Amino acid sequence: MVSRMANAVLLVCVLSGLCLPVQANTTAKAATAVTGPGASAAVHPPQLLAQTDLALPPVPVPLTDQPMVRIALLLPTQSEALRTAAEMVRAGFQAGFERDPHGVDVQLVETGDAPQDVLTGFNAASIEHDIVVGPLSRTGVTAVAQSASLQRPTIALNTPDANASGDVPLALPAQMLPIGLSVEDEARQVAGWAASQHPRARALIVFTGTAWQRRAARAFEQQWQQLGRESEPVELQSSDGFVNARALLQMKPQLEQQPEVPVLIFAALDARQARQVRALMGPELPLYGTSQLNSSPPPQLQAATPGMPDMDGVRLVEIPWLLQPDHPAVMAYPVLPPLPNALRSADLERLYALGIDAYRVAHEIAMQRRSFELDGVTGKLAVSLDAAGARFSRSADRAVYRNGAVVPLPNGR
């Protein structure tokens, strides 16, 4: 059985681009037997969705002479480290297809996680398809973005690595639209939110040496400075996922340097680490963070999940899929049953939701829409495609811990 820690490490790998040798347990099978990088298989019938009891009503297919738009879903299903993550995205994409299959034909293109393997699969997909959805990992997206082979509209499921200095995003080809769930985007959104709520405060930005935490801290700091605000980064030592207690105690003097200036904390941490910071600093100090402060499954599945009342008052952003079961888009798609032999995790749920919205974006582009908005399961999405290039933005929902659970704030966007 995959432990909770293994699942967390796995998803951090996907979002950060690191591919650690973690065994991914899943019993999900490809729709058709496929061998070798770049091979294609039909996405339907949706094997992963066959476990759910929710029967989607059949949608009548109108008679049309228009040719089908061919969409390739490029995923690292042959990677031991990323297979579970890839299957979650695939399941979400299948759910989107089953709800609205009009006018498109979807094929799965399976790869490993090595950059050259991803490029081989991408090149094959580009030859045979009109739109490519993928790659999934940061390294894969970076490899495709830096290659000269991008000739088709490409909906990347992650963001590429920054330049060598880590401060300037990699320049993207005009036809690449990155829609991945980015902690950097969330951090920038939180910075604007916190600044509006605390107009005089300086920010203590807390993070560890983990790659995604460094990126989130840097994004918050840059946005905070653009707003003309003062901040102070604090890197904490950590071991086995816990923040060093002595390092936490050393934060106290920093809070007392300017007693006349209010202070807030941006915690570029996971939920467990943020609880440590909260316990030391107390509930009076405002604490903000990204969606990584929420480790709970969807509300529909939280009955047996213990709450965290010590986090009450902590503010964060989160996607509707994990926050609002009554959201119209969320209600339109089935909740995926837990994978056999795997614990339910918020990160896996986010990838399933990403697959749903990835299909919706791909379908809109396939229908020749070049500027549109979607009220998606990962947030409010805005897409623009023109001669200047592809532009994408996502606005997640504002949330707060209340009675030990993460709940949406009124008018949370």
CB atoms within 10 A of CB 47: 17
Are residue 143 and residue 38 in the same domain, yes or no? yes
Q: What is the pLDDT of residue 243?
A: 87
**Statement to judge: residues 63 and 144 lie in one domain:** yes
Residue 350 CA to residue 339 CA, distance in Å, equals: 14
**Total number of domains constituting the chain:** 2
Judgement on whether residues 107 and 201 belong to the same structural domain of the protein: no
pLDDT(357) > 60: yes
Domain identity same for 48 and 35 = yes
Is 346 part of a structural domain of the chain? Answer: yes
Least confident of 71-80, 207-216, 237-246, 333-342: 333-342
As given in the structure block, the two tokens for residue 257 are 């340097």
Strand order in 131-133's β-sheet? 40-42, 104-110, 69-75, 131-133, 154-156, 176-178
Q: Is residue 314 part of a domain?
A: no
Task: State yes or no: pLDDT of 291 exceeds 90.
Answer: yes
122 and 52 both lie in a single domain: yes
Lowest-confidence pick of 139-143, 253-257, 393-397: 253-257
Domain range for 277 is 184-294
Assess if residue 320 is contained within a domain: no
**From CA 321, how far away is CA 70, in angstroms rounded?**
28
171-213: pLDDT as tens digits: 789 999 999 999 999 999 999 999 999 999 999 999 999 999 9
Q: Is residue 308, in this structure, part of any structural domain at all?
A: no
For residues 161 and 256, state if they share a domain. Answer: no
pLDDT in tens, 226-250: 999 999 999 998 888 888 878 777 7
What phi and psi values does residue 406 have, to the nearest 5 degrees? -85, 125
Q: Are residues 161 and 193 in the same domain?
A: no
Q: Are residues 245 and 211 in the same domain?
A: yes
Residue 171 burial (CB < 10 Å; 0-12/13-18/19+)?
Answer: exposed
Q: What is the pLDDT of residue 304?
A: 52
In this predicted structure, the answer to whether residue 342 has a pLDDT above a threshold of 80 is no
Peptide bond into 320 cis (omega under 30): no
Give the pLDDT of residue 15: 44
Per-residue DSSP letter, 404: T
Residue 409 CB neighbours (<10 A)? 14
pLDDT of residue 389: 85
Q: Dig out the tokens for 246 from the structure.
A: 């002595």
CA 144 to chain centre: 19
> b/e for 111-149, b at 16 or more Cβ within 10 A?
bbbbbebbbbbbbbbbeebbbbbbbbbbbbbbbbbbeee
The residues with which 372 forms a beta bridge, in sequence order, are 383
Report whether pLDDT(168) > 90: no
Is 67 contained in some domain?
yes
Give the helix ranges, DSSP H, for 175-320.
183-197, 211-226, 245-249, 251-255, 271-281
Q: Do the Cβ atoms of 202 and 171 come closer than 8 Å?
A: no
pLDDT band at 117 (very low <50, low <70, confident <90, very high): very high
DSSP letter at 342 equals B
In terms of domains, do 74 and 204 share one?
Answer: no
Report the candidate in 1, 7, 184, 189 with the shortest Cα–Cα distance to residue 85: 7
Residue 51 has pLDDT above 50, yes or no: no
Residue 12 lies in a domain: yes
> How many angstroms from the chain centroid is the CA of residue 302?
20
In DSSP terms, 395 is beta-bridged to 380
For residue 235, the surrounding DSSP H or E stretch is: strand 231-235
User: Could you tell me the CATH number of the domain that includes residue 166?
Assistant: 3.40.50.2300
Is the same domain home to 31 and 147?
Answer: yes
Mean pLDDT of 45-69: 45
**Does 407 map to a domain?**
no
Q: Please indicate, yes or no, if residue 306 is contained in any of the structural domains.
A: no
Say yes or no: 273 and 286 in one domain: yes
Predicted pLDDT at 343: 65
pLDDT of residue 65: 56
Residues 174 and 204 grouped into a single domain: no
